[in-house]
Each structure stands twice: as structure tokens, then as C-alpha cells.
Chain A
């Protein structure tokens, strides 16, 4: 069996690629649980980070849970609950919330979980979902009752991504 030099190079590249691909896939699978950016509320029971460990909590801001206030020093304070369905965790945060923050929106909060079950966040980041729509389309979906942004993600994109809203007919 004799290979030309070109064929030999092809085989070397193929085998090296196969080896590298397998190694990467195995590494990523092994690290998949450690490469998380945040823990969901239901992960916390099993992972139990402990009261002194700072970690990121990620989930949706529960509908109707947001209360904005002020600390005695006059700084903005927010209380809300982060949920992933089965488990909900109350969060307190002193500071300015990002523009995208609202009920029903994804959120990632860095902080510590106290013994009282309160998560005290030192940083709150908003997560955007992968949908983009003009204001008129969002309004049309809300008006028609197909979507309540505070309750979570919009309906499947195929139902609205070609929707042509009637312009300039507010509250019609």
C-alpha cells in the first residue's frame, strides 16, 4: 500500500482533525457543568453554594414581584423574585437597574444567598431574549391578548415576524 505524499498529508490532517475534535468534544462535555455563567433557582438546592459564597443567579423576573423603593440613604432599592418555574428566590438589590430590566425578562444577579433565603445582589444584569420586534407589533400582540410581556417570552416568531400592524391607530 503506497500513498503519494499528497494523500499522506490528507490522511494526517484528517486524523489530526478527528483527534482534536474528539478531544475538544470530551473536554467540553466534562466542563459543561462548570462552564455555567449562572445558576438557575432550581440548581441551588442541589449545588448549595453556601451563605458565604458569591454566585450568579439567573432566571426570569417573576410577574408582579417587582417593588422599587429607596434606602434610608436615598439610594434606589429594588425587590423582586427570580424564578425558573419550580423554584422562586427573593432578591434585594441596591443600585441602578439596567434599561432592559422588567418583569418577565431574563435577569442575572451576582450576590450571596443569606440564611434567611434572601439573595442579596451586588450586581444585576438584564438578559435579552432572541426576539426583536417594532413597537407597533409588540403593541398589537399585547392588545390582541396573544402576549403579556410580564408573563414571559413572546409567542412563536412565525406568528408575528411578518405581521403588518396598522399604523397610527392607537387604542382603536
Chain B
């Protein structure tokens, strides 16, 4: 590095009329806030995940008929929740990017989708590994599994689409529209097991009646879910921070190149 570039005095993107929540959406404010927040987020995620993993793998009981195989659930279910919750987050950031044209929302959406694709892939993979010994098949084209596969394609499609344009803003616009259209899939996934008859069983935890899970299995599951959610959030925040800094760096380099260009050629 020949010239030390600090992110702090970088040229600010013109901010929309400041007020209310827009204060937190300001990229500079975001960097300052998350710089202090991120280590805590990582630490807490590690702590909760370690406790959750120990509880789930060593101290929770097996299921009376699935035996030890039930422990796949402690990864599968949090990944499924994150795949859908993360997509709801993508829809919200897309909405903010589309309506308020906020550059930070565009960046967050862009950095969210690879992580979302990863958790959805893990959900599908663990589900497949679980389905083989229990149901007797790796895969079935029932409504639940098919709609989650579509969710995976939406995540991957979004990640590819926003990066497919030379003009970042056009990419973000196209990605936001795709993300919002894809959001109709979320209720379909959630209620697929109630609307259609499927191989996949219906919800055990997120239902109106009492959870169909004994607390000795439910509590470690919730702990793992919180741990994975914190890790997911930390990963997305870290990626978004890097994207903000990358963007500033590019702007600086661009400004530098421009100032060289305008020098009189003699």
C-alpha cells in the first residue's frame, strides 16, 4: 500500500433527508456502529453455539423411535428457519432499496444472498441425510421439499443477478425485484405441509398448539437456533462492512484516477 487509505474521511454518498431510521442506514454510521457491535456478535454467537452444540449432541435425549438420528434436527431446523427468515430479510432490504433507493440496503441485499444460499443448501443436504434412514429416501418431490428447492434457486439467482450488471445500481434494482417476487414462496413453504399432503411432516414448534416436542429436545433446539442466527447475522454484517469499505476504496481510486486525468497533458 503506497498511500494509506482510511475509510473515515472518504467521500460520503449523498444521504437522503436524514431523520428517524435513516440515521442508522447511513453507511458511515453503519461502519462506526458495527465496528463496536461485531466482536460482541461473534463472541456471543460462538458462546451460544458451543453451549447449544454440547447440549444438543451430548446432553439431550435421543428420540424414542428415531434414536440418535434425531440430532440432525439441531442443524436442519435452524438452517430451514434461517433460510426463510434470511429471505424475509432480503425482501425487506430489497423493498428499502427499491423505494428509498438506499445504497446500504442494496449492499446488504447483495451480501445476504450468498449466505442465504449456503444455509438453504445446508438445510436441503441435512434433510436429505435425515430422510434416507428415516423415510427411506434421499429426496421426494413433495410440496415442502420442492418449494425449499425453489427457495435455494431464488437465493442463488439473486446472488448471480446482482453481480451480472456492470452498473451496480441496475443489478441491485433487478435483484430487488427478483427478491420481492420470490417472497411469495415464503408462505408457500411455511404452509405447504398443511395445504397439500406431503411426505414431510407438519410443524412441531411454530404452530398454534403446544410444541410437539419434549422440552428436553426443544430447548437445545432453540439454543442452537439462536446460536446459528447470531452467527448468520455476524457473517452478513461482516460481509456488508467489507462491501461498504470496498465501495469507498473504489470511489477513492476513481477520484484519484480522475485527478490524474485532468492534469494537463503537455
Contact = CB atoms under 8 A, between A and B. Distances in A.
Interface residues of A, number: 49
A160 B214 contact: yes
Contact of A134 (B135, B142, B198, B217): B217
Contact of B210 (A17, A135, A161): A161
Contacts, number: 135
Interface string B44-80: 0000000000000000011111100110010000000
A55 interface: no
B62 A13 contact: no
Contacts of A10: 99
Given A13-B180, A126-B136, A134 B64 contact: yes
Contacts of B213: 131-133, 157, 161
Nearest to A159: B210
Contacts of A28: 188, 195
B181 A20 contact: yes
A135 B143 CA distance: 31
Interface stretch (A46-54, A61-69, A75-83, A97-105): A97-105
A132 B65 CA distance: 9
Interface residues of B, number: 46
A6 B136 contact: no
A118 interface: no
Contacts of B199: 37-38, 108, 125, 127
B210 A136 contact: no
A150 interface: no
B214 A36 contact: no
A63 B17 CA distance: 69
Interface stretch (B116-124, B200-208, B234-242, B251-259): B200-208
A168 B146 CA distance: 44
Given A36-B196, A133-B63, A127 B214 contact: no
B158 to A, nearest CB: 16
Contacts of A149: 65
Given A6-B100, A126-B134, A128-B135, A134 B63 contact: yes
B5 interface: no
A129 B134 contact: no
A40 interface: yes
B228 to A, nearest CB: 19
Nearest to A24: B184
Nearest to B94: A13
Given A20-B184, A37-B197, 16 more contacts: A16-B180, A17-B180, A20-B181, A100-B65, A100-B135, A100-B136, A102-B65, A125-B135, A125-B137, A127-B201, A130-B207, A132-B212, A133-B214, A134-B63, A161-B212, A162-B215
Interface of B: 61-66, 69-70, 73, 95, 98-100, 133-137, 140-143, 180-181, 184, 188, 195-199, 201-204, 207, 209-218
24 contacts: A6-B99, A6-B100, A13-B95, A28-B188, A37-B140, A37-B143, A100-B135, A123-B136, A123-B137, A130-B207, A130-B212, A131-B212, A132-B70, A133-B63, A134-B214, A135-B61, A135-B64, A136-B61, A137-B214, A157-B209, A157-B210, A158-B209, A160-B214, A161-B213
Q: Which 9 A-B pairs have the closest CB atoms?
A: A98-B136, A134-B61, A138-B64, A158-B210, A37-B142, A131-B212, A135-B64, A130-B204, A157-B212
